[in-house]
Structure 1
Amino acid sequence: MTADDHAPRSRTAQRTSLFPPQHGAWAFLGLPLALGFLVGDPTWAWLPLAWAWIAAYPASYFVLSYVRARRPERFRRPLLVWVALFAPAGLAAVVLRPWLLWVGVLYLASFAVNLAYARRNRERDLVNDAVFVAQCSGIVVVTGLVGDDPDAAMPAALLSAVPSQAWLLAVACALVLLGSTLHVKSLLRERRDPRYARASRAFAVACLLASPLLALAWHLPAGWLFVPAFAVLAGRALRRDWSGMRPGTIGMVELAGFVVLLAAAASAVAAA
């Protein structure tokens, strides 16, 4: 035993990381943004929107950590950092698109669900995950609307201004993210519960069978481009031998699936 064994830990070592440990969540944030960029006209308003959207996740993560922690002071520093990064971008986005205030109210209401699960230390529940998927998928529509900048202020008028392609991409995004959630749970946290593996495979097959309906709603022949993407995702879920695969490798496979869907969506938009 050396003197270092009794030395106090360095201040750096004691500090909580500024970044959430959920690395896969960043892909969940990036996919809907990229899909939304496909259906709206390019605008400078996308910059503060994207900044606010990306910063909102770690800010919300540390809010939830602060609420449920026995020593909440550990999370005060990262919480303040991310709120400080989120606030100016969120304000700029609202100044450019005042109707985003309605979107903020809706997201705050959904965050109340996350908060309720955090208070009970049940953040990993599938319902809470589904709420996060809905929040992510919704940004597809929001991003498209920010690009189109409709001349509307009330929620009903805003909803009617959403292009059909944005709704369809939001649906596709939700299916992919929910399927990814089930698949990763079945391989990692819930790997000892065979129900998750069965649910993951069944959901992936159901999405593949439903993909022709998405193609028809998009309009043929461009819509057919979505079917191969869901076939790839179904093949990934139906593979049975994942033993020995590291979490990082699993995450890269999921990221590849997201890229496949994004490529299919970009091609469908270009061909429409």
Structure 2
Amino acid sequence: MKTKGFVIPHEHGAWAMVSVPFLFGMMAGQPQWLHLPLFMGWLFLYLSSYPFLQLLKRTTNREHWLRWGLIYGAISLLCLIPSVILNPSLFYFGPLLLGLLMINIWHTKHKSERAMLNNICAILIFSVGGPAAYLLSGGGWDRTMALIMLFSFLHFMGSVFFVKSVFRERKNLRWINYSRIYHVVVLIIPFIVGLPWLFIAFIFSTVRSFIFAGEIVRPWKVGIIEIIGAVQFLVLSVAIIQQ
């Protein structure tokens, strides 16, 4: 939406997706001062993607979308430069992000943004912030980095299933069952990867799905539920993965 000339993304859940994986990766290692400009660069990279994607969909106010896409993109570039110069390994995330973004662009041009593949790629993009922050925290291309990426992705995919099951697919019994099956399977994955106690971080999401899926839930209540879920996921995941 447009507010006082500014372009602000209206996907409120995306703010948690931008910040939670990043904080997860940062707190799993040793926080550095470079995390601040890296996060700002990451945030403005997301902000720049929104007007550019709108530019592909809309035929009006194209100069407006282009202007704000370039402004946000320029700010992102300036913020990312210090971190990338001091840690060139961050460049390796570029091709992955670009490939996933191309899939998002394809779905946007074909007006199929709600497709599951598009959702998966979008959440993978957000989840990359965790490994990048972890690498800057003194971590390496190791098992912990992979787990940060994996569990960030699993948590926010659960959000996709949950939100659809209380809004767009609320009357779709098949989708409600998919959501509940997904959340049960996610509880098992920590045991498979050797971090059994991490299943605790997904209990809230699973209970949420079984209680509210298919029910009429006001948007503000869904927002509160999602905020609580994201915070408890971050706190518990960091505490467990550091052991």
Structure 1 gaps of 5+ residues are 1-12, 150-160
- Please state if 1:179 is matched with 2:158: yes
- For the residue of structure 1 that corresponds to 2:7, the secondary structure is coil
Q: Which amino acid aligns with 2:201?
A: A
Report the alpha carbon displacement of residue 164 of structure 1 after superposing the two structures with TM. Answer: 2.1
Structure 1 contact 114–123 (Cα < 8 Å) conserved = yes
Q: What is the aligned partner in structure 1 of residue 174 from structure 2?
A: 195
**Among residues 195, 205, 230, which one is paired with 2:184 in the alignment?**
205
Structure 2 contact 22–132 (Cα < 8 Å) conserved = no
4+ aligned runs moved over 6 Å, structure 1:
none
Structure 2 gaps of 5+ residues are none
Equivalent residues, number: 241
Cα gap change, 1:14/1:255 in structure 2, threshold over 3 Å: closer, same or farther? Answer: closer
> Cα deviation per residue 1:24-43 (whole Å; 9 max; x = unaligned)?
10001111011101222222
> Cα deviation per residue 1:68-123 (whole Å; 9 max; x = unaligned)?
21122342333233123212012222222222222223211211111111111111
Structure 2 contact 170–215 (Cα < 8 Å) conserved = no
Q: What is the aligned partner in structure 1 of residue 78 from structure 2?
A: 88
Measured in 2, the distance between the counterparts of 1:240 and 1:265 equals: 24
Asked which structure has the greater CA Rg, the reply is 1
> Cα deviation per residue 1:152-197 (whole Å; 9 max; x = unaligned)?
xxxxxxxxx3232222222111111111111101212332433321
Measured in 1, the distance between the counterparts of 2:142 and 2:29 equals: 9
Measured in 1, the distance between the counterparts of 2:146 and 2:89 equals: 18
Structure 2 contact 204–229 (Cα < 8 Å) conserved = yes
Report the alpha carbon displacement of residue 241 of structure 1 after superposing the two structures with TM. Answer: 6.6
- For the residue of structure 2 that corresponds to 1:99, the secondary structure is helix
Structure 1 contact 211–227 (Cα < 8 Å) conserved = yes
Measured in 1, the distance between the counterparts of 2:100 and 2:230 equals: 24
Structure 1 contact 33–50 (Cα < 8 Å) conserved = yes
Cα gap change, 1:190/1:77 in structure 2, threshold over 3 Å: closer, same or farther? Answer: farther
Query: Identity, % of aligned pairs?
Result: 26
**Among residues 23, 44, 50, which one is paired with 2:12 in the alignment?**
23
Report the alpha carbon displacement of residue 17 of structure 1 after superposing the two structures with TM. Answer: 4.4
Task: With the length of structure 2 as denominator, give the TM-score of the two structures.
Answer: 0.90
CA RMSD of aligned residues (A): 2.1
Task: With the length of structure 1 as denominator, give the TM-score of the two structures.
Answer: 0.81
> Cα deviation per residue 1:189-241 (whole Å; 9 max; x = unaligned)?
33243332121111001111333234xx23xxxx52x2222222111111147
Structure 1 contact 28–136 (Cα < 8 Å) conserved = yes
Cα gap change, 1:241/1:172 in structure 2, threshold over 3 Å: closer, same or farther? Answer: closer
> Cα deviation per residue 1:113-164 (whole Å; 9 max; x = unaligned)?
1111111111121110100111122221121112217xxxxxxxxxxx3232
**Among residues 95, 117, 133, which one is paired with 1:105 in the alignment?**
95
Which is bigger in relative contact order (C-alpha 8 A, separation at least 6)?
A: 2
